[in-house]
Amino acid sequence: MPSRESYSLRKGEKSLVHKAKQEGKEQEMLAAALGMRMGPQKPPATLWQPLKLFAYSQLTSLVRRATLKENDRVPKYEKVHNFKVHTFRGPHWCEYCANFMWGLIAQGVKCADCGLNVHKQCSKMVPNDCKPDLKHVKKVYSCDLTTLVKAHNSKRPMVVDMCIREIESRGLKSEGLYRVSGFSDLIEDVKLSFDRDGEKADISVNVYEDINIITGALKLYFRDLPIPVITYDAYPRFIEAATEQSLTCLFVSLELTETDERLEALHEALKLLPPAHYETLRYLMAHLKRVTQNEKDNLMNAENLGIVFGPTLMRAPDLDAMTALNDIRYQRQVVESLIKNEDILF
């Protein structure tokens, strides 16, 4: 006959085994909810899929908010989200507020550049912290300048860097540089090459012997930008800088006073440009300054380059035809001043 001690021992062992089984079931449930596998388990049932998505959205929201706090400490230049109305398949949660996105169609909005999914109401509160993903940025030309730069994690668009390097390596002494147009079909071919191959595009002399094709492709890139290098917001300040005149010229010549005031006004206007636009403009003006240093060969001075690049880098925002036409001479003066005083203004 078993003793009381052995009976108590067996009872305690059964209790421990039951407790271990219970803990194992709880771990299996948690693993299934998070989409994890423990040992030779079956794939998680579809019943847990909504719970899995909810847990993921909660974690994403926490990470996003932590990132926003970090961005407050380390300022980086901003990129506005490109939100568009979107219909989501299956259950989705807002990546900003972590709440469920109700409805069958058009439940929220999705950023076309980085893929962020949020409620339409939440999109108004999301900071300008878009980090474009290359899988969403499909082209180079006609792409927002800041979007392209952030997607490729570079200072400037690769089109600008590659074209300017090619031009300076073999074309600075070419007569009529930037004024003479290249063959339009070949310029379009360069555009398609950048859109298709990106940084791997071949624009060497072996493929495009005429340097005017490369200059034409660079000018086309600037013309195709949805927001010009000199942005619509900064445009009025640059035009004002071009028309600035001195009211006091007691002990200084009128021409010198006008130049000083214009440079100060241009310097203030440059501060309004987004960092990617500013860096691109700075790099381009330094290049055009080197072009003018070869004026004896290429016959292109700052005034000529201002005529070419004025309407290319600046576009009047929603102005009538007569006002836009009148602004052309001021656009030329702005670019001319930027080239001549590149070392002072940038």
In whole angstroms, how far apart are CA 312 and each of 145, 162, 226, 254, 308?
A: 14, 19, 12, 31, 7
Closest CA to 230 of 161, 331, 322, 321: 331
pLDDT value, residue 72: 39
Which residue is associated with the tokens 């994690």?
A: 153
Q: Per-residue pLDDT tens for 71-93?
A: 433 334 566 777 888 888 878 77
Degrees (nearest 5) of the Cα angle 112, 159, 172? 160
Reported residue count of the chain is 346
What is the four-CA torsion angle of 133, 139, 143, 149, rounded to 10 degrees? 50
- For every one of its 346 residues, what pLDDT tens digit does the chain have, with 9 covering 90 and above? 445 555 454 545 555 555 555 655 555 554 444 444 445 545 555 555 655 555 655 565 555 444 444 443 333 456 677 788 888 887 877 877 777 777 778 778 888 777 788 888 888 888 777 777 667 677 899 999 998 998 888 899 999 999 999 999 999 999 999 999 999 999 999 999 999 999 999 999 999 999 999 999 999 999 999 999 999 999 999 999 888 643 333 344 444 444 678 888 999 999 999 999 999 999 999 999 999 999 999 999 999 999 999 999 998 887 677 777 888 999 999 999 999 999 999 9
Compute φ and ψ for 118, nearest 5 degrees: -145, 165
Per the CB < 8 A criterion, the answer to whether 81 and 130 are in contact is yes
- pTM assigned to the model: 0.67
List 86's β-bridge partners, or say none.
Answer: 108
Per the CB < 8 A criterion, the answer to whether 96 and 126 are in contact is yes
Q: How far apart are CA 117 and CA 123, in angstroms?
A: 9
Q: Decide: helix, strand or coil at residue 107.
A: coil
